[in-house]
Structure 1
Amino acid sequence: MDQQTSGAWKGRPVDSEVAAQEAWQQSGKWFTYEGHAIFSRMAGQGEPLLLIHGFPTASWDWHRLWPMLVQGNHLLAPDMLGFGFSDKPRHYAYSIEDQSDLIQGMLEGLGLTSVHLLAHDYGCSVAQELLAREQEGTLPFEIASVCFLNGALFPEVHSPLLIQNLLRSPLGGLISRALTRRSFERSFMKLFGSKSHPDQQDLDDFWHLITYNNGRGILHQLIHFMEERRCHRHRWVSALQNARQPMRLISGVADPVSGAATAQRYQEMISDADVVQLKNVGHYPHFESPWEVFGAYREFRKRQ
């Protein structure tokens, strides 16, 4: 663990005249992990709630849900290393284990003793790793509850897109660097429900997050997490099965990658499985249908 993670936090002023995503960045806070700058948003009061984003985007994914959640929670939303506005080193061994170290160090640095987790996609694997650490007695804080959004919790029912398979192939480096805006949009749009496609400004925002600070050039390195899911399948699924805290899966079942099949597998594998299925919602339920997600999440937390 990099001890620099617990260093001073630096805030930036918000300019109401700048674009929404730029304002998001300017209102962020920064800390250091392994010598690299990590971006994070923090706001609100109440119990700490950590929002862990997915691949290939960033904490911005939560911006539609943020105004609802911030009313009763102390929100923490980092851009993990290699994502969004955080540093994106080219020569780095990206892994779920390392991202979990980053998250663990961030929470330790803030002096937290308990935190709720709300995770999406890639972030679900990070949450599973943190759960495993807690069960092994190596996590210095308590995980109060976990809520998952459309993550490949069970790799055997994950159906990656063609672009994802290409990125993890021997040609991944070339594919990553050659990725165009048009090819990104063509693949990305497949992830959404038929009635909740992002508009042009949304696509501009997502593309900006991916390409910021040469991020396009490391996509093939980040996507190694798909192999990690297979290698750590027993450890991470066992973490779900042995969890002591409340858990819920909120699933956009129109997701072609980790939607209905994942929800069904979750019900098969987890005792007393708590699953909320959202019809006509795809891989990004917190972006596509934030009110539905908020309602399901609020009800989940009220029962605790």
Structure 2
Amino acid sequence: MPAMWSLDQTFETSAGTVVARVAGDGPPLVLAHGWPWSSYSWHRITPALEARFRVHAYDMPGFGRSQKDGARPPSIDVQGEVFCEMLDHWGLDAPRVVAHDFGGAVTLRAHLLRGRDYTALVLMNVVAMRPWGSDFFEHVKRHVDAFTGLPPHIHKAVVCAYIDSALAHPIAPDDYDGLDAPWLTPDGQTAFWRQFALADERFTAEMEDRYGDLRCPASVLWGADDPWIPLARGAALAERIGVPLTQMDGLGHLPQLEDPPRVARAILSRLEG
């Protein structure tokens, strides 16, 4: 991982130890990553964000460099609780929030089900509307036990192929290593497959009829060529919230790494607008 992506904070949450970073000057901004990523997925756009905001980022329990074998399974409902714990830890009452992938469900749960306020919320290619995931995701979820014991070299090949399948535009070669490395250790391999088993659409089903009740300005950005969560799902979410959908043509499920300058501009325009 690049030297600039340091995670120099450690915090004990109800789901295990997490690592985090805070950098930049300005109003508080919190980044919520998704699956199977970590806070590293933001590293190409944080310099632009940190020039305007004090940016808070962390690896969720079970992900990245955070503890992968905590006392509580790191499902989306638990992650929503931990997100609230992190806001308390940082002393943030109503930060701006940018969420990606299941970070969308996590931050929406904290807002709609646990009463946390945001100054603004940007949702980018998020898990928020059923059905979830790719065909491969659904297949593994039905047959998790067949994958958990893969030999390490085959596990690595599957992880790399899975990450590559999210993209519609090439990313920097070094970024592949930063994305897949956390899953290639013994505990990482266990954590990777466990996430498929923990996925449960009820974690968004119980909120879907409340998306029109958001208490903050919201924006929906979408890599239009997302192979995992189609643009139509983003359009349905934007309609449910009552905001326009901003589609980013030519980009897939990881816009922030596929075209960092373009995505940073889009996010900043919504946070500062």
Equivalent of 1:115 in 95, 98, 102: 95
- Could you say if the C-alpha distance between residues 147 and 91 of structure 1 is closer, same or farther in structure 2, counting changes exceeding 3 Å? same
Equivalent residue for 1:62?
A: 42
Could you tell me whether the CA contact under 8 Å between 2:17 and 2:70 is conserved in 1?
no
Q: If the length of structure 1 is used for normalisation, what is the TM-score?
A: 0.81
Residue in structure 2 matched with residue 15 of structure 1 by the alignment: none
User: Quick one: structure 1 residues 279 and 46, their matched pair in 2 at CA, closer, same or farther if it must change by over 3 Å?
Assistant: same
Find the counterpart in structure 2 of residue 301 from structure 1.
271
Alignment-derived partner of residue 165 in structure 1: 138
Is 1:203 matched with 2:173?
A: no
- Which portions of structure 1, spanning 4 or more consecutive aligned residues, are displaced by more than 4 angstroms? none
Report the alpha carbon displacement of residue 159 of structure 1 after superposing the two structures with TM: 4.4
CA distance in 2, matches of 1:36, 1:232: 21
Matched, 1:286 2:267: no
Checking the alignment, whether the CA contact within 8 Å between 1:30 and 1:38 is kept in structure 2 is yes
Residue aligning to 2:216 = 245
In the aligned structure 2, how far is the partner of 1:32 from the partner of 1:159?
30
Q: Look up the equivalent residue of 2:92 and give its one-letter code.
A: L
Within a 5 Å distance, the mapping from 1:1-304 to structure 2 comes to 20=2, 24-25=5-6, 27-34=7-14, 36-89=16-69, 92-133=72-113, 138-139=114-115, 141-156=116-131, 158-162=132-136, 164-169=137-142, 171-178=143-150, 180-193=155-168, 196-212=169-185, 214-224=187-197, 226-227=199-200, 230-271=201-242, 273-303=243-273
Report the counterpart of residue 5 of structure 1 in structure 2. none
The code of the aligned residue for 1:256 comes to: P
CA deviation profile, 1:228-273 (whole Å, cap 9, x unmatched): xx214443223321112110011001111113122221244232x1
**CA–CA separation in structure 1 for the residues paired with 2:213 and 2:12:** 33
Unaligned runs of 5+ in 2: none
The count of corresponding residues between Structure 1 and Structure 2 is: 270
Letter in 1 for 2:233: T
Higher deviation after alignment, 287-296 or 76-85: 287-296
Give the C-alpha shift of residue 131 in structure 1. Answer: 1.8
Deviations 1:31-87 (A, max 9, x none): 111373211111112111110001011000000011000011111111010000000
Report if aligned partners of 1:95, 1:224 keep a CA contact under 8 Å in 2. no
Alignment RMSD (CA, Å): 2.1
Identity across the alignment (%): 21
1:112, distance to aligned residue in structure 2 (A): 1.8
Provide the secondary structure at the position in 2 that maps to 1:204.
helix
Q: TM-score, normalised by structure 2?
A: 0.90
State the AA in 2 paired with 1:260: L
